[in-house]
Structure 1
Amino acid sequence: MSQPSAWPLPSGSSRVVMPLELIELLAQHPLTRHLYPLAYGHYLAAQGHQVERQHHTDHLLIFCHQGRGHYRILTPQGPVTGTLEAGQLLLLPAGFPHSYQASATDPWSIYWAHYSGSSAASSMDFLGLSASTEAPRFVLTLQAWQSLLPIVTTLLNLQHQRWQRHNAVIAATLLQQLLAQLPQLAEQAQQHHGFDLLALERFMQDNSHRDLDLQDLAAVAGLSRYHFAKKFKTVTGTSPMRYFNELKIKLACRQLDTSTATVRAIAQNLGFDDPYYFSRLFKKVMGVAPSDYRDSHQPHSPHSQLHQSQP
């Protein structure tokens, strides 16, 4: 299994690794063999939390409830990069090299779980996510996620009891219950904002070369600027323009990874007339300047391959 990290736990955080003999039990038990936890935990204000894996053998859920972090996933279509905001869930499927880290300025607080089982691979389809399409999707936005806290608390509190067979089965059924409720919370998020977030994202993608303003985006949603900005912030945890700019930065990362275009040319392709502003924004989102990002991710660079570490 992909080992959880040895990142030093601050006060209030927890990390649970299931004993191997219980994992073997869960893999055979009729109530749990289709999906069961390998490890799980809760990291609070995880300053300095950073993980890289070249080999990922299980499935990993990361839910951010405060702060933010960044992720990078190597897919057959190319690298996928993004920012995980409060209220969003990231699913990293088995077999995909990846890295992720807490924001240096606003480090995330996260609940996480490594899991496996005969039905684990189908959990992406169950959650409406996909790793194999032309536009891979690894993130869900959840509405009213606080309703899951009683289940999460019960799951975490099992660590204070002696690990026995029945407690392991309870842990597995609690994780299954959590996963079962996620599509409903994601659907509520879609209904709550009163506009199609996916359609809006497609519009942003199609117009990433333009310098759109808030009125342009509100018009697509059919709302006033005020109501659009308010609804958008409720759903995504961030402002429309910040979301649009971060989407542009994702596209910039892809171009830096796959092309030899200059930073200035990439900035202009993405609607930034001022390359210095683009560089400042890029560093704010990714933590490094565009040129440094390219140096560390180009195929010829010794750092371009993700190195396996203790997550």
Structure 2
Amino acid sequence: MSQPSAWPLPSGSSRVVMPLELIEHLAGHPLTRHLFPLAYGHYIAAKGHHVERDQHTDYLLIFCHQGRGNYRITTPQGNVTGELSAGQLLLLPAGFPHRYQAHSDDPWSIYWAHYSGSSAAKSMDFLGLSSTAESAKFVLTLSAWQNLLPIVTTLLNLQHQRWQRHNAVIAATLLQQLLAQLPQLAEQAQQYHSFDLLALERFMQDNSHRDLDLEDLAAVAGLSRYHFAKKFKTVTGTSPMRYFNELKIKLACRQLDTSTATVRAIAQSLGFDDPYYFSRLFKKVMGVAPSDYRDSHQPQASSPQQ
């Protein structure tokens, strides 16, 4: 096992090193032998944190949730260097000498875990990472990683209990659960990065008076209709045209709230030539007809004073 750093722990940080007896138990247990933790922890604002290893016998995950740091990994083809910033995860595979350290002016806060097991070597492929010269990749960018915090907190809180075999098995299954969710979070981050929903929504608002179709929206995104519709559904959970029509209904509500324009005029201003279709769509989205919505949302006229 590659020993964790002996960096002095500041207040709020933690470091857990599994006892050898429990490591041996996990290595032989049918539920955990394929992947189990050796050590893990949480370093907060780790100023001065610096590690360099010429020998590395296990796998190490480092997730930066604040600040930044840098790393160097020595591969058979040469050194791979880079910076790790908030929202990014670094995987250091077994057998690769490496160095990593917190930034001097903006030191990182990190969650980390050393792990091993019969399937540990397959974690590179599982996470979509590679150590080959042609496609060396050791870092993932994650989205919505905060959703993992309950699992991380439970894992860290195990250190406050007496280390017994069943707690060690729980720690291993929690680590496995965390790893299992990483590819999805990385995929979502890539989709959000390559799909500018805000720019597309601005285009929709600027053209809310038009009868846009799927081809028009796909062209703005620079994608085919098929790939655009698929990616849009993944990012938003709904179809592009439904999203556009619901945006139009929101704008219609605003006009019904603030103007005296007729329902027909509002429909036409939003690109609906058929006011009856507009009314049906409005009721489908809002649950009431446009006229009923206006009656229930506009302030009542004040009664004349006696």
| Common topology (TM > 0.5) | yes
Where 1:90 maps in the other structure, the secondary structure is: strand
In 2, Cα distance between the equivalents of 1:193 and 1:125? 22
Residue of structure 2 in register with 1:174 after alignment: 174
In 2, Cα distance between the equivalents of 1:117 and 1:66? 29
Residue 186 of structure 1 deviates from its aligned partner by 0.3
Residue 76 of structure 1 deviates from its aligned partner by 1.2
Residue 135 of structure 1 deviates from its aligned partner by 3.0
User: Deviation above 2 Å: which 4+ runs of structure 1?
Assistant: none
Residue of structure 1 in register with 2:70 after alignment: 70
Where 2:27 maps in the other structure, the secondary structure is: helix
Give, as a single letter, the amino acid of the residue that structure 2 aligns with 1:36. F
In 1, Cα distance between the equivalents of 2:155 and 2:51? 24
Residue of structure 2 in register with 1:112 after alignment: 112
Residue of structure 2 in register with 1:39 after alignment: 39
In 2, Cα distance between the equivalents of 1:168 and 1:118? 17
Contact 1:15 1:39 in 2 (8 A): yes
Where 1:114 maps in the other structure, the secondary structure is: strand
Per-residue CA deviation, residues 3-25 of structure 1 (Å, 9 max, x unaligned), is 01111000000000000000000
When Rg is computed on C-alpha atoms for both structures, the one with the higher figure is: 2
Residue of structure 1 in register with 2:90 after alignment: 90
Residue 134 of structure 1 deviates from its aligned partner by 1.6
Per-residue CA deviation, residues 26-82 of structure 1 (Å, 9 max, x unaligned), is 000000000000000000000000000000000000000000000000011110000
Give, as a single letter, the amino acid of the residue that structure 2 aligns with 1:150. P
Where 1:69 maps in the other structure, the secondary structure is: strand
Residue 192 of structure 1 deviates from its aligned partner by 1.1
Matches within 5 A, 1:2-21: 2-21=2-21
Matches within 5 A, 1:239-254: none
Give, as a single letter, the amino acid of the residue that structure 2 aligns with 1:91. L
Query: TM-score with structure 1 length normalisation?
Result: 0.63
Per-residue CA deviation, residues 135-175 of structure 1 (Å, 9 max, x unaligned), is 31000000000000000000000000000000000000000
Residue of structure 2 in register with 1:193 after alignment: 193
Residue 180 of structure 1 deviates from its aligned partner by 0.1
CA-based RMSD of the aligned residues comes to 1.5
Where 2:157 maps in the other structure, the secondary structure is: helix
Where 2:37 maps in the other structure, the secondary structure is: strand
Residue of structure 2 in register with 1:263 after alignment: none
Residue of structure 2 in register with 1:128 after alignment: 128
Residue of structure 1 in register with 2:142 after alignment: 142
In 2, Cα distance between the equivalents of 1:80 and 1:31? 35
Per-residue CA deviation, residues 195-242 of structure 1 (Å, 9 max, x unaligned), is 59xxxxxxxxxxxxxxxxxxxxxxxx97xxxxxxxxxxxxxxxxxxxx
In 2, Cα distance between the equivalents of 1:103 and 1:152? 24
Unaligned 5+ residue runs, structure 1? 197-220, 223-311
Matches within 5 A, 1:150-169: 150-169=150-169
Give, as a single letter, the amino acid of the residue that structure 2 aligns with 1:18. M
Residue of structure 2 in register with 1:60 after alignment: 60
Give, as a single letter, the amino acid of the residue that structure 1 aligns with 2:150. P
Contact 1:77 1:134 in 2 (8 A): no
Give, as a single letter, the amino acid of the residue that structure 1 aligns with 2:118. S
In 2, Cα distance between the equivalents of 1:135 and 1:185? 21
In 2, Cα distance between the equivalents of 1:182 and 1:37? 16
Residue 194 of structure 1 deviates from its aligned partner by 2.7
Unaligned 5+ residue runs, structure 2? 197-220, 223-306
Give, as a single letter, the amino acid of the residue that structure 1 aligns with 2:175. L
Residue 133 of structure 1 deviates from its aligned partner by 3.7
Where 1:184 maps in the other structure, the secondary structure is: helix
Where 2:99 maps in the other structure, the secondary structure is: strand
The answer as to 2:28 corresponding to 1:24 is no
Q: How many residue pairs align between the two structures? A: 199
In 1, Cα distance between the equivalents of 2:163 and 2:127? 30
In 2, Cα distance between the equivalents of 1:191 and 1:26? 37
Give, as a single letter, the amino acid of the residue that structure 1 aligns with 2:109. S
Give, as a single letter, the amino acid of the residue that structure 2 aligns with 1:98. H
Give, as a single letter, the amino acid of the residue that structure 2 aligns with 1:115. Y
Where 1:6 maps in the other structure, the secondary structure is: coil
